[in-house]
């Protein structure tokens, strides 16, 4: 059964892998910077380390190759020395005397003397036919000094004046040389055979001059490799023998052998033997001393890399902080602005893009504050819808002439009432009244221009043009009257005397705009039509008219016959009240009662 | 260097003599042998000897001659190669102003003439056939050979490489050639007719010349 979810594609497939998406800019910058630096440093370290390893191997290789020459040279020098010694021995008068005496025992003792004189551990003497005459070592008889005979035979065959080779003497590895005994020169009477052992001491002398470990090894029996001479502990034989067994017999080869907790660059060559299978010469140089200086460099590099990483971390954090901190400040400031605080200014004290952003935000705050002021202004005067519309259009705040319907409402008998009531109660009552009236006006889309004590001035068709402003104004007037009835019922219930009002409505072309000082502006309208509305309101006090609402013919004309519904839900046509002269105005105005 | 023209002159003379010997009819029984090396160059100091193979050939008795003289002069033996009959005495006069010590380790005649001074002559009897290598214990470069022969018919080649053996009765002979540097052996069977035998030309292979060359006087280094 396969898990059905196993094949499902990952839910999120954003561009960046999950591990590389960071919430914080600083982390992102840090990871980027450190990542790049780490990659560069790691590459450098690896390259240097690799180059060092190569150099060390090359060094070790050169060393072992030099050591191979040193070994050859050391053997050749010793052979040369032995050859010269043999030459001197051959010129010895006593030797000739003893040879004439034909006394092998005496001859053997003479050869023993020679071993001391020329520091050759083994000296044998053969006649010119390769027959053993005497030996400095009793144990060396005809049988086991065979390698000398072989050397002599091939020397005679090839007419050589000396001949040398590797062989076993009494089972120990030796280098042998045969040199003629002349009597006189160049008449060959017989042959000297001399030999020196290739042993640990020889290896140590090579190591002393070359710093290279030397091992002679016989793998004639592959199962039981035989250590002939070595400067290394005997335990090293197994890995060396394994490498030797795999090595090329025909030419020297270089291998790296792991042994004794180190890696050894090993030069393996094979040495022919007299009457025996070839033996291996292994010259080895451990890599660790070659790498020692490189290690120092690598450690130094590692240390500087770590320091650079640490410095880069601090730097990246610093840069990130330098960016993220002001960004956070800006974000915080944005929240401050969002909360409505336009007075606070942000000061980043920098000239870069972030500084420009801060400046822009400050400019924005200033703009918002100004706009807010205007909005505040409007909010007090107009309904929120009108305010919003104004904010959208942004017009109508300058001075302009337009047709506006002005509604004036006044509380009757407020002066006497104010004398009867204590101030708090009076104000509470007034505000209660104004509140009801305002509601009625705004319900019809009117804009409260101002409260003048207990009087209300409201506008229809300004600051936002309304096609049906006059109708709305008359409807508002009726609504106010109706609202007052409701208020009066409440007042009666409270045991208070009822209130009465008078409303004047006039439509005229007036000047609309912000009026006031630099510090205090008010949107309002001015003009004769405003006075007319106020005068019409005053006319309601005239009991003869028997109405609370008086409007002008201009308003009715503007209604174009569309009368708003009355209290009973039916449109009652206005009752003409005739022509009146208004104070401060030439000519007559035709007025109507709205019921 | 001044010896070189002299040597050339000698060579010419020797060649002329040999030519004369080869062309001039001799009394009966002479074998003229030309000894050459592998390169065809004449070989001097080669010993040519004949041994009669037919029992019928009469072998004349070897006359016990006066002592053969090998001098020591200028720290050299002279002559270098000597051919003597068995039973010949050889005297070794020292004509130098220094001492010499003549010796031989050869099995034919091992001997030693202990250090002896100027003007002294020592004599040694060579009573067995064979080759004797002579040396001087003091002077490594001094060397000479004595070829002791039983046969009466022998001669030594001169510089021209020609040796002439006379007084041969007709018959079969073994012609032996020996030289200090001879590689191997050189034998040839020849027939001597009544009268002169045809000249023999024998090629021998010589080993490398390993005689010690004396360093020039005053070079301070003895020899090489």
Q: Looking at chain B, list the stretches that DSSP marks H as alpha helix, in order from N- to C-terminal side.
A: 3-23
Contact residues, A window 182-211, toward B, CB-based 8 Å cutoff: 182-187, 189
Query: Does B218 score more than 80 pLDDT?
Result: no
Contact B133/A99, CB-based, under 8 Å?
no
Tens digit of each residue's pLDDT (9 = 90 or more) over A275-332: 889 999 999 998 888 888 888 888 888 898 889 888 888 888 887 777 778 888 888 8
ipTM over 0.85: no
Task: Determine the Cα–Cα distance for residues A311 and A288; give it in Å rounded to an integer.
Answer: 32
What is the dihedral angle through the alpha carbons of B126, B129, B135, B137, rounded to the nearest 10 degrees?
Answer: -60
For A162-229, give the DSSP string. -EEEEEEETTEEEEEEEEEEESSTTSEEEEEEEEEE-SHHHHHHHHHHH--EEEEEE-SSTTS-EEEE
Q: Please judge whether B105 and A96 are an interchain contact, meaning their C-beta atoms are less than 8 angstroms apart.
A: yes
Say what percent of chain A tops pLDDT 70. 88
Closest Cα to residue B201, out of B34, B48, B31, B22? Answer: B34
**Per-residue pLDDT at A235:** 85
Task: Note whether A185 contacts B140, CB cutoff 8 Å.
Answer: yes
- State the pLDDT confidence band at A545, using cuts at 50, 70 and 90: confident
Tell me whether residues A186 and B105 touch, CB distance under 8 A: no
Q: Which residues contact A108 (CB under 8 A, 6 or more apart)?
A: A134, A135, A136, A138
**Chains A, B: CB pairs < 8 Å:** 51
Contacts of A186 in chain B (CB under 8 A): 143, 209-212
Does the distance separating the beta carbons of B208 and A159 come in below 8 Å? yes
The whole-angstrom separation of Cα A540 and Cα A545 is 7
Among residues 83-122 of chain A, which lie with CB inside 8 Å of chain B? 91, 93, 96-97, 99-100
* A246-to-A223, A229, A325, A385 alpha-carbon distances in Å: 13, 20, 68, 100
pLDDT digits (tens, 9 = 90+) for B150-176: 998 999 999 999 999 988 888 899 999
Strand blocks (E) in B142-197: 143-149, 153-156, 162-165, 171-178, 186-192
Q: Which of A85-99, A544-558, B205-219 has the lowest mean pLDDT?
A: B205-219
CA distance B192 to chain A (A): 34
Do residues A68 and A267 lie in contact, with contact meaning Cβ atoms separated by under 8 Å?
yes
Residue A144: predicted pLDDT: 63
Question: pLDDT tens digits for B31-88?
Answer: 999 999 999 999 999 999 999 998 888 888 776 667 899 999 999 999 999 999 998 9
Query: Could you tell me the pLDDT band of residue B222, with boundaries at 50, 70 and 90?
Result: very low
- pLDDT tens digit sequence for B90-139: 999 999 999 999 999 998 999 999 999 998 999 999 999 999 999 998 88
B183 touches chain A (CB under 8 A): yes
Does B149 lie at the interface with A, CB-CB under 8 angstroms?
no
CB contact under 8 A, A186 and B211: yes
User: Do the Cβ atoms of B122 and B67 come closer than 8 Å?
Assistant: no
Residues forming a β-bridge with A581: A588
Out of A91, A93, A161, closest to residue B140 by CB: A91
Which residues, listed in sequence order, are joined to residue B121 by a DSSP beta bridge?
B93
Binary contact (B211, A185; C-beta < 8 A) = yes
Which residue among A97, A184, A189 sits closest to B143, beta carbon to beta carbon? A184
Burial of A205 (0-12, 13-18, 19+ CB in 10 A): middle
B 25-84: CB under 8 A from A: none
Between the CA atoms of A356, A362, A364 and A369, what dihedral angle is there, to the nearest 10 degrees? -170
Contact between chains at B105 and A93 (C-beta distance less than 8 A): no
Check B207 against A183: CB less than 8 A apart: no
Residue A78 tokens, joined: 């010793």
Nearest to A185 among B111, B112, B212 (CB): B212
pLDDT band at A69 (very low <50, low <70, confident <90, very high): very high
Query: Rounded to an integer, what distance in angstroms lies between the CA atom of residue A562 and that of residue A411?
Result: 28
Of B104, B105, B207, the CB nearest to A159: B207
Q: What is the mean pLDDT of residues A104-130?
A: 88
Closest alpha carbon within chain A to B183: A159
- Name the residue facing A187 among B141, B143, B183 (closest C-beta): B143
Q: Which residues of B touch A100 (CB under 8 A)?
A: 105, 110-112
**CB A570: neighbour CB atoms within 10 A?**
8
Of A97, A159, A183, the CB nearest to B135: A183
Q: Which residues of A touch B183 (CB under 8 A)?
A: 159
What is the per-residue pLDDT for A392? 63
Looking at beta carbons, which residues of chain B come within 8 Å of A184? Answer: 133-136, 140, 142-143
pLDDT score for B201: 92
Say if A24 is an interface residue toward chain B (CB within 8 Å): no
Tens of pLDDT, residues A224-274: 889 999 999 988 888 899 899 888 888 999 989 998 888 899 999 999 998
- pLDDT band at A169; cut points 50, 70, 90: confident
For A88, name the nearest residue in chain B, comparing CA atoms only: B140
pLDDT at B24 over 50: no
Q: What is the mean pLDDT of chain A?
A: 83
Q: In whole angstroms, what is the distance from residue A593 CA to residue A504 CA?
A: 10
DSSP A10: P
Give me the sign of the Cα torsion angle A151, A155, A161, A166: negative
Distance from CA of A182 to the nearest CA of B (A): 9
Q: Which among A100, A184, A185 has the least Cβ separation from residue B112?
A: A100
Ordered DSSP codes for A486-510:
HHHHHHHHHT----EEEEEEEEEEE
């Amino acid at each position: 059964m396969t898990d059905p979810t196993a094949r499902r594609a990952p839910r999120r497939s954003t561009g960046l892998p999950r591990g590389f998406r960071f919430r914080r800019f600083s982390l992102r910058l840090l990871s980027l910077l450190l990542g790049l630096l780490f990659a560069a440093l790691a590459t450098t370290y690896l390259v240097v380390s690799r180059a060092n390893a190569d150099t060390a191997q090359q060094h070790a290789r050169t060393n072992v190759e030099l050591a191979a020459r040193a070994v050859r040279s050391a053997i050749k020098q010793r052979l040369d020395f032995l050859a010269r010694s043999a030459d001197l021995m051959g010129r010895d008068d006593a030797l000739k005397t003893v040879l004439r005496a034909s006394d092998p025992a005496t001859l053997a003792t003479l050869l023993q003397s020679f071993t001391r004189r020329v520091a050759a551990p083994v000296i044998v003497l053969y006649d010119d036919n390769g027959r053993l005459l005497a030996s400095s070592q009793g144990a060396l008889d005809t049988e086991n000094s065979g390698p000398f005979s072989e050397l002599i035979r091939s020397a005679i065959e090839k007419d050589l004046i000396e001949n040398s080779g590797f062989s076993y003497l009494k089972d120990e590895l030796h280098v042998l040389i045969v040199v003629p005994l002349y009597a006189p020169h160049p008449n060959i009477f017989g042959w000297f055979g001399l030999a020196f052992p290739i042993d640990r001491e020889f290896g140590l002398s090579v190591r002393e001059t070359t710093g290279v470990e030397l091992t002679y090894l016989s793998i004639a029996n592959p199962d039981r490799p035989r250590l002939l001479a070595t400067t290394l502990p005997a335990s090293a034989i197994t890995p060396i023998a394994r490498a030797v067994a795999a090595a090329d017999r025909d030419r020297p080869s270089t291998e790296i052998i792991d042994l004794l907790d180190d890696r050894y660059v090993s030069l393996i060559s094979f040495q022919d033997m007299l009457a025996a299978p070839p033996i291996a010469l292994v010259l080895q140089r451990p890599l660790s001393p070659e790498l020692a200086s490189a290690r120092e460099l690598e450690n130094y590099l590692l240390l500087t890399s770590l320091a650079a990483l640490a410095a880069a971390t601090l730097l990246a954090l610093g840069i990130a902080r330098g960016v993220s901190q002001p960004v956070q400040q800006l974000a915080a400031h944005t929240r401050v602005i969002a909360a409505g605080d336009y007075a606070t200014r942000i000061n980043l004290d920098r000239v870069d893009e972030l500084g420009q952003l801060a400046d822009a935000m400050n400019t924005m705050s200033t703009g918002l504050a100004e706009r807010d002021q205007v909005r505040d202004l409007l909010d007090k005067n107009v309904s929120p819808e009108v305010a919003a519309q104004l904010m959208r259009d942004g017009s109508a705040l300058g001075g302009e002439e337009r047709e506006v319907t002005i509604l004036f409402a006044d509380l009757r008998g407020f002066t006497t009432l104010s004398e009867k009531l204590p101030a708090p109660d009076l104000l509470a009552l007034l505000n209660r009244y104004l509140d009801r009236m305002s509601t009625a006006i705004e319900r019809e889309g009117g804009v409260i221009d101002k409260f003048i004590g207990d009087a209300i001035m409201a506008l229809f068709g300004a600051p936002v043009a309304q096609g049906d402003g006059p109708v709305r104004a008359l409807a508002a007037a009726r609504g106010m009257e109706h609202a007052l009835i409701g208020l009066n019922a409440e007042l009666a219930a409270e045991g208070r005397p009822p209130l009465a009002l008078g409303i004047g409505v006039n439509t005229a072309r007036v000047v609309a705009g912000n009026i006031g000082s630099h510090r205090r502006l008010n949107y309002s309208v001015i003009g004769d039509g405003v006075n007319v509305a106020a005068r019409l309101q005053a006319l309601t006090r005239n009991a003869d008219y028997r109405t609370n609402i008086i409007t002008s013919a201009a308003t009715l004309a503007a209604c174009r016959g569309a009368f708003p519904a009355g209290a009973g839900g039916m449109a009652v046509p206005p009752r003409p009240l005739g022509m009146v002269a208004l104070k401060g105005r030439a000519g007559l105005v035709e007025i109507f009662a709205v019921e | 260097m001044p010896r070189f023209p002299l040597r050339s002159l000698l060579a010419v003379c020797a060649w002329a003599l040999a030519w004369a010997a080869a062309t001039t009819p001799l009394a009966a029984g002479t074998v003229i042998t030309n000894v050459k090396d592998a390169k065809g160059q004449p070989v001097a100091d080669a010993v040519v000897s004949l041994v009669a193979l037919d029992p019928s050939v009469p072998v004349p008795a070897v006359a016990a001659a006066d002592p053969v003289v090998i001098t020591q002069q200028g720290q050299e033996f002279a002559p270098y190669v000597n051919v003597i009959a068995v039973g010949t005495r050889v005297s070794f006069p020292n004509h130098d102003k220094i001492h010499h010590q003549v010796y031989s380790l050869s099995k034919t005649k091992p001997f030693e003439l202990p250090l002896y001074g100027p003007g002294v002559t020592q004599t040694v009897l060579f009573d067995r056939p064979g080759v004797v290598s002579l040396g001087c214990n003091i002077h490594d470069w001094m060397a000479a050979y004595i070829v002791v022969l039983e046969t009466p018919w022998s001669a030594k080649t001169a510089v021209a490489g020609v040796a002439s053996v006379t007084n041969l009765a007709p018959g079969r002979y073994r012609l032996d050639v020996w030289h200090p540097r001879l590689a191997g052996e050189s034998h040839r069977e020849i027939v001597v007719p009544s009268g002169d035998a045809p000249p023999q030309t024998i090629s021998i292979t010589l080993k490398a010349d390993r005689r010690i060359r004396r360093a020039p006087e005053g070079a301070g280094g003895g020899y090489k």
